[in-house]
Amino acid sequence: MKFGHFDDENREYVITQPDTPLPWINYLGCQAYFGIISNTAGGYSFYRDARLRRLTRYRYNNAPMDSGGRYVYLRDDESREFWSPSWQPTRHELKDYSCRHGMGYTVIGSTYNGIEAHTRYFVPLNENLEIWQLTITNRRATKASISTFASIEFCLWNAQDDATNFQRNLSIGEVEVDDNVIYHKTEYRERRNHFAYFASSLPCAGFDTQRDAFLGRYRGWDKPAAVEAGRLTNSIAHGWSPIGAHQVKLDLEPGETRQIVFVLGYHENPDDRKFDPAGSQTINKTLVKPVIRKYLDPAAADAAFERLREYWESLLGIFQANTPDIHTNRMVNIWNTYQCMATFNMSRSASSFESGIGRGLGFRDSNQDILGCVHMVPARARERLLDLAATQLPTGGAYHQYQPLTKRGNNDIGGGFNDDPLWLILGVSAYLKETGDWSILDEPTPFDSQTGSEAPLYEHLQRSFRYTLERLGPHGLPLIGRADWNDCLNLNCFSSTPGESFQTTTNKDGKVAESVFIAGLFVQAGRELAAIASRRELNREAASYLDAVAKMEQVVNKHGWDGEWFLRAYDDLGVKIGSKECEEGKIFIESNGFCVLAGIGLNDGKAAKALAAIEKHLATKHGIVVQQPAYSRYYLNLGEISSYPPGYKENAGVFCHLNPWVMIAETRLGHGDQAHDYYKRINPSAREGISELHRCEPYVYAQMIAGKDAPSFGEAKNSWLTGTAAWNYYAIVQWILGVRTTLDGLEIAPVIPKNWPGYTATRRFRGVVYKISVARKGDGNHIALTVDGSPIEGNIVPPPADGRKIVSVKGILT
């Protein structure tokens, strides 16, 4: 509790101590303009693509960490003392510091020497700009003369180039200043038609656009010379490092409050209207000025904030639950849902752990993200699925990622991961179950982004499935390719060269190494595809999928079972991985979790055994680890997994993404207590009390928590952008609470803890509001449903025949 607390009513996390163990961040923006913002105003902004259209600069891996941000300074013009109300960068001892991270906005402020100041940062819906509303109140008994400085450092658009290509970049910076607005227009003279702007609602006493002029020589953002002097220098940047800094002077009576609005934004001009006058090199500002003017008005800013609130209210309102567990409620109703949207928007690009230049949208990642957000943004999920499918290769294979700006697949972070294609089936299936929109399957969709190659989306699914069938290994299990879900199980890599990427190096075109995990995924995807095919009345095709699934199950039973649990893989020599015969890495979570999730071994005791083995060998108080025993040294035949010290990441860390697979598997066996117990171990809110150990934000999931072999057992890393968000949401909502979408409608199949008297929930689904209440009358998981007072057969609630828009569903569990 030391660093803050949840304010559930306002859907905020309130940080009350600025020096959190790590920057605790939030996201601004939910459509095209985005920013990350830390609890001390660190972070940066970008338009659509964190790598290619970066507006402001940030210094990753810096000391002190979290450098570069949306920094405000206040200066008492009498005492000449200056400070930052957001603590960073000056790090003064503040009174009543607080940072409220909310849904799409952050408010940071404090009081210092009787001057109270708060800044509310947010991105209005449908605009490519962010608003900083700075409210200052004089709490002194006497008049105060305060200079306010707002500052940002521009990035020269391509964040990677910006961080490396100094010989060019230090000579290209250009700005214009006009009417209290600073325009950043580097490269506008040539091929770019876009620029950034930073505007102030109140007249400025001065500005700076050259970093050196503002900071002074050999100084950092903690002590800008111009702020110290109390006067900006009206510098115009030519080259070097363009910044935007405004100075506004305020005289405040005792008790007086004033607000200044700063607007930072991005604008594109039509190519033929770039300059004004035409033929000059001056930005044409006619189109952007009305937008700037609009949002500099505090009333317009307030109205935009209200609309943002309503937007989140309506998204979160689609599913709300009230259970006996506050941590479940908080994550399901607020934070996990919110994280699902951030993950969907960002994929794995920009966070405190993803630099925004490393990765575009992952094929497998984005397909899985659909599970957590399709109920909120079905139209965008549809578009994402079609974009993903459009990068699929004619073989059915997939690029591992595509860049959001170009929407073209690339091999920058590797290719040939043999699980990738199958996730498309799961993503599309989740979309169909949510929306019932079968038209998506007929959508003409190209292969490899090639115009002319279009085929219905359905054919992409067929090819995804066939991709596995055409790539089976010696035991009849799927060949693993470069790797499967576990990027670091590189069975065909054999890298002994320092620095060589495990993800992109191809040392062997493997025809031997096989994955039991992909077999489980294939079984699940095959069942889903068969269900889709039979709804399309392709009965023979559906039967052939089920036949292939049954064969794969037999192969798993024969060659993928180790006696007490499912094997993980066979390596390039055909040697078992994840077997009791192994010295290290005897048992893995992925194959066991996913095979049971897919229904393998439910009837012959294998599933129960596998789950018992997970509990015995892999479960810890901080979550379930990837494998045991951890690899204690580097194995050439295993690759990156054994490059991590024991307990970290894929080498026996708690990979939070994988835990919900086991939770779902537990529900398939009816084990509600165990499922929810696992859920709680990694639930960030339930871990808030151990923030000193956990270190990452207590309101969102992290990708991993150090496993028991690590000295820092229980410490989280890589928060925010992880498949963990979608999978935990899906596990708790659809499998534990059991409010599940199916092709035939909404199913209610709770597998909740025995000591829960029940729960209530509201779900908007296909245009109808379902008011659900579940009451426990016995210990089991059998449910009897009444819908608007009438008992129904089975547990799929039929859509109301008479057009009712609100339906009451009551379930009795016995």
- Closest CB to ligand NOJ among residues 358, 436: 358
Euclidean distance between CA atoms 588 and 662, whole angstroms: 12
- Closest CB to ligand BGC among residues 413, 518: 413
Task: Write the interaction track for ligand BGC spanning residues 595-634; mark x where CB under 6 A is met and - where it is not.
Answer: ----------------------------------------
Classify residue 478 by its DSSP letter. Answer: B
Buried b (16+ CB within 10 A) or exposed e, 152-171: bbbbbbbbebbbeeeeebee
Total residues in contact with ligand NOJ, by rule CB under 6 A: 9
φ, ψ dihedrals at 203, nearest 5°: -55, 140
Within 8 A by CB and 6+ apart from 221, the residues are 67, 68, 71, 89, 151, 215
Euclidean distance between CA atoms 439 and 480, whole angstroms: 33
Q: Is 709 in the site for ligand BGC (CB under 6 A)?
A: no
Euclidean distance between CA atoms 798 and 793, whole angstroms: 10
Euclidean distance between CA atoms 66 and 88, whole angstroms: 9
Euclidean distance between CA atoms 361 and 384, whole angstroms: 10
Q: What is the CA radius of gyration of the chain?
A: 28
Q: Which does 485 bind (CB under 5 to 8 A by kind): ligand BGC, ligand NOJ, none?
A: ligand NOJ
Write down the residue that tokens 């008011």 correspond to: 771
Q: Is 650 in the site for ligand BGC (CB under 6 A)?
A: yes
Shortest gap between Cβ of 131 and ligand NOJ (angstroms)?
Answer: 32
The footprint of ligand NOJ on residues 136-175 (CB under 6 A) is: none
Shortest gap between Cβ of 502 and ligand NOJ (angstroms)?
Answer: 11
Q: Is 413 in the site for ligand BGC (CB under 6 A)?
A: yes
Euclidean distance between CA atoms 400 and 40, whole angstroms: 35
Binding window for ligand NOJ (CB under 6 A); candidates: 244-252, 483-491, 492-500, 508-516: 483-491
Helices assigned H by DSSP within 632-776: 659-668, 672-682, 691-694, 724-730
Euclidean distance between CA atoms 707 and 704, whole angstroms: 9
Euclidean distance between CA atoms 644 and 651, whole angstroms: 6
Q: Which does 362 bind (CB under 5 to 8 A by kind): ligand NOJ, ligand BGC, none?
A: ligand NOJ
Q: Which does 503 bind (CB under 5 to 8 A by kind): ligand NOJ, ligand BGC, none?
A: ligand BGC
Among positions 74, 488, 577, 662, the unique one binding ligand NOJ when judged by CB under 6 A: 488
> Residue 404 corresponds to which tokens in the numbers above?
């959001």
Classify residue 402 by its DSSP letter. Answer: E
Shortest gap between Cβ of 693 and ligand BGC (angstroms)?
Answer: 22
Minimal CB distance to ligand BGC: which residue?
487
Q: Which of 664, 559, 655, 650 is nearest to 611 (CA)?
A: 664
Euclidean distance between CA atoms 110 and 87, whole angstroms: 8
- Closest CB to ligand BGC among residues 53, 649: 649
What one-character-per-residue DSSP string does 131-177 give?
EEEEEEEE-SSS-EEEEEEEEEEEEEE-HHHHTT-HHHHTTT-BEEE
Q: Is 362 in the site for ligand NOJ (CB under 6 A)?
A: yes
Q: Which does 486 bind (CB under 5 to 8 A by kind): ligand BGC, ligand NOJ, none?
A: ligand NOJ
Binding window for ligand NOJ (CB under 6 A); candidates: 358-366, 473-481, 500-508, 574-582: 358-366
Minimal CB distance to ligand NOJ: which residue?
487
Q: Which does 153 bind (CB under 5 to 8 A by kind): ligand BGC, ligand NOJ, none?
A: none
Among positions 54, 185, 285, 348, the unique one binding ligand NOJ when judged by CB under 6 A: 348
Q: Which of 207, 165, 204 is nearest to 186 (CA)?
A: 165
Q: Which does 365 bind (CB under 5 to 8 A by kind): ligand BGC, ligand NOJ, none?
A: ligand NOJ
- Closest CB to ligand BGC among residues 195, 517: 517
- Closest CB to ligand NOJ among residues 334, 340: 340
Q: Where are the beta strands (DSSP E) in 211-256?
A: 242-252
- Closest CB to ligand NOJ among residues 647, 811: 647
- Closest CB to ligand BGC among residues 117, 716: 716
**What is the SS3 assignment for 21?**
coil
The footprint of ligand BGC on residues 479-508 (CB under 6 A) is: 487-488, 503
Q: Is 487 in the site for ligand NOJ (CB under 6 A)?
A: yes
- Closest CB to ligand NOJ among residues 285, 348: 348
**Max CA-CA distance within the chain?**
85
Q: Where are the beta strands (DSSP E) in 405-536?
A: 409-415, 444-445, 455-456, 514-515
Q: Is 650 in the site for ligand NOJ (CB under 6 A)?
A: yes
Among positions 118, 433, 649, 740, the unique one binding ligand BGC when judged by CB under 6 A: 649
Among positions 101, 364, 586, 695, the unique one binding ligand NOJ when judged by CB under 6 A: 364
Among positions 485, 565, 661, 735, the unique one binding ligand NOJ when judged by CB under 6 A: 485
**Count of alpha carbons within 13 angstroms of residue 286, beta-carbon side:** 8
Q: Which of 728, 774, 727 is nearest to 752 (CA)?
A: 774
- Closest CB to ligand BGC among residues 488, 556: 488
Active site positions, annotated: 487
Euclidean distance between CA atoms 589 and 12, whole angstroms: 34
Neighbours of 808 (CB within 10 A): 14
Task: Write the interaction track for ligand NOJ spanning residues 683-702; mark x where CB under 6 A is met and - where it is not.
Answer: --------------------
Shortest gap between Cβ of 423 and ligand BGC (angstroms)?
Answer: 14
Q: Is 717 in the site for ligand NOJ (CB under 6 A)?
A: no
- Closest CB to ligand BGC among residues 468, 718: 718
Q: Is 486 in the site for ligand NOJ (CB under 6 A)?
A: yes
Shortest gap between Cβ of 624 and ligand NOJ (angstroms)?
Answer: 14
Which residues here bind ligand BGC, judged by CB under 6 A?
413, 487-488, 503, 640, 649-650
Which residues here bind ligand NOJ, judged by CB under 6 A?
348, 362, 364-365, 485-488, 650
